Amino acid sequence: MPDLFNWMLVFLRASAMFAVFPLFAFGHVPKPVRVALGAMTAFLVAPLIPTQSTVGLDLWGGLGLMILEIGFGLCLGFVSRMFLYALEIAGTLIAMEIGLSMPGALNPFTNTTTTELGTILQNLGVMLFLTLNLHHGLLIAFQRSYQFLPVGGGHLREALVLDMLARTNQLFWFAVQMSAPVLAVSFMVTLIFSVLSRAVPQMNVFLENFTVRLLAGLSVFGLTCHLMGEHIANYIGRLPEDVLRVAQLMGMK
């Protein structure tokens, strides 16, 4: 029975992580598949970690451990998913700047309405995520998280809150860096047409500015896609280390 209880705790952490994992949390992945992946991960990881003792553990204590493991899994999955939020913010900034924020479309990753450019960047991020085999790295990081965060051994600490706030700050800074070329070109176009509006008052500045800014923004977006890909690869390459860092902060004594 202790082995079964230990497997259940690992299953809860794995299932909670897969609930927000960058790949398996998408709407097109059926929930039974996620549960099956959590069960398979628990079957592989449970024999490699120390068995949780059930001596003196009552019903409420067992429920408390289960809730803690679900919270740990959600936190680890959220850290691994943050790059998709950063790409969505970057796409929204670019779309707002060049005038493509209004025609929203369904995002297959979040099942919400977002900009087309945000969806393109998220597709690029997911392809790089799979190409670099980071889904394997995150699964290995999940198994290694038990070295720093044993079953029932984690707590909410000030260092963890400060680290999550710093990661949120990096998320917005990453989005600004991604959108910087388009923002710079859009600013230059707006500045030029501001001068032209003074020199040629008869010009329809709003219409001409919108057209030129849209064409220039899309051109720069296409020309800098390879640079964006390199930037995304550098950002997501640190995800396994970030997951282990958060696990270490939660399990720190």
The arithmetic mean of pLDDT across residues 108-136, rounded, is 82
Q: Which domain holds residue 21?
A: 2-251
For residue 111, pLDDT over 80 is answered with no
157 three-state secondary structure: coil
**Tokens 């296409």 identify what position?**
222
Look at the chain and report how many structural domains it folds into. Answer: 1
Taking the whole predicted model, whether its pTM rises above 0.85 is answered as no
Helix (H) or strand (E) holding 105: strand 105-107
Residue type at 231 in one-letter notation:
H
Average predicted confidence (pLDDT) for the chain = 82
Distance CA 159, CA 157 (A): 5
For the stretch 62-83, pLDDT in tens is 788 888 888 888 888 888 888 8
For the stretch 11-52, pLDDT in tens is 888 888 888 877 776 666 777 888 888 888 888 888 877 766
Distance CA 55, CA 77 (A): 31
For residue 232, pLDDT over 60 is answered with yes
